[in-house]
Amino acid sequence: MNTKAATKPVIKTNKAAKADAELAEVLRPGQSVELLKELHILTREGRLNQDSRRKLKQVYHLFQFIEQLLRELPEEGAGATLADHGAGKSYLGFIIYDLFFRARQGGNGHVYGIETRGELVERSRALAQRLGFERMSFLNLTVAESAQSGELPAQIDVVTALHACDTATDDAIAFGLAKKARCMVLVPCCQAEVAACLRETKALALSRTPLAELWRHPLHTREIGSQLTNVLRCLYLEANGYSVTVTELVGWEHSMKNELILARYTGQRKASAATRLRELLAQFGLDTLGDTRFRLA
């Protein structure tokens, strides 16, 4: 009995040490463990489970892209403003603030979380206050409403929208254009509007060609609609003076909504992108979107 009692604490200590080592490998330098506990990414004991590990990996991967964009701004982004649309529980906004803005002493950068669910906004406000994250604001607004809100500055440097559903991504792009954003970081989700238009118009200009097979089945209509939506968004951004890169957010095993659109403002409007955009809208019978979502000057 005495032997077992003597060895049990050693086993427990080894397990704890191993868990601490694994956690140190996952967390980025300077990351607040208390923040991750508050966000329920870590357990109360400061441990990761499989689900939270995936979530943290996704947010960290996105943060790497955003950090690079912020560092390209004047003063390496110390005074940058960032608006996170469809913020939800504000995992992304809190981690950006914790890893980037909090460490910049004297910086006046600000993170705005924009979310329609009032209870999540109140929860985020309370958490920011507890952690002393003074340069974070949370607004109970739709993406469209936020473009007209006096609670946001006239210019926003970086616009993010992580898994903003359906047309919310288009609203985030419109917000970025209105706020003269230097960068936009978009992970679209549930692009249903174009698919509905395809079903309605049957893309009349292409209906007598083999290309109509691409959306004959409902599942293909949805997928083609999603792909076409993002192609139109990229052309629209290029036509409005942005250089665009499209890449993966994380591996497909983590999320099927995996497309990451990065846009940097150059001021060089591409006439060829505007022409292609108009042609695609016409060929696929989506002219009404040219008057609403993808209106060109």
Residue 161 located in a structural domain: yes
Q: What confidence score (pLDDT) does residue 9 get?
A: 53
Site of tokens 């790497």: 64
Backbone angles phi, psi at 56, to 5 degrees: -65, -40
> What is the C-alpha separation between 117 and 140, in angstroms, rounded?
7
Q: What confidence score (pLDDT) does residue 265 get?
A: 98
Number of neighbouring beta carbons within 10 Å of residue 70 = 23
Residue 92 located in a structural domain: yes
Q: What confidence score (pLDDT) does residue 257 get?
A: 62
The CATH number of residue 223's host domain is: 3.40.50.150
Residue 20 located in a structural domain: no
Beta bridge partners of 243: 264
Site of tokens 């008057």: 291
Q: Per-10-residue mean pLDDT for the chain, 297 residues long?
A: 51 67 84 92 84 84 94 94 95 95 85 96 97 96 93 97 83 96 92 77 70 80 88 97 91 60 97 96 87 88
- 214 touches 224 (CB < 8 A): yes
> What is the C-alpha separation between 259 and 234, in angstroms, rounded?
12
User: In whole angstroms, how large is the CA radius of gyration of the chain?
Assistant: 22
> What is the residue range of 170's domain?
80-291
What pTM, to 2 d.p., does this model score? 0.87
Residue 283 located in a structural domain: yes
Residue 112 located in a structural domain: yes
Residue 142 located in a structural domain: yes
The count of structural domains within the chain is 1
Residue 64 located in a structural domain: no
Residue 173 located in a structural domain: yes
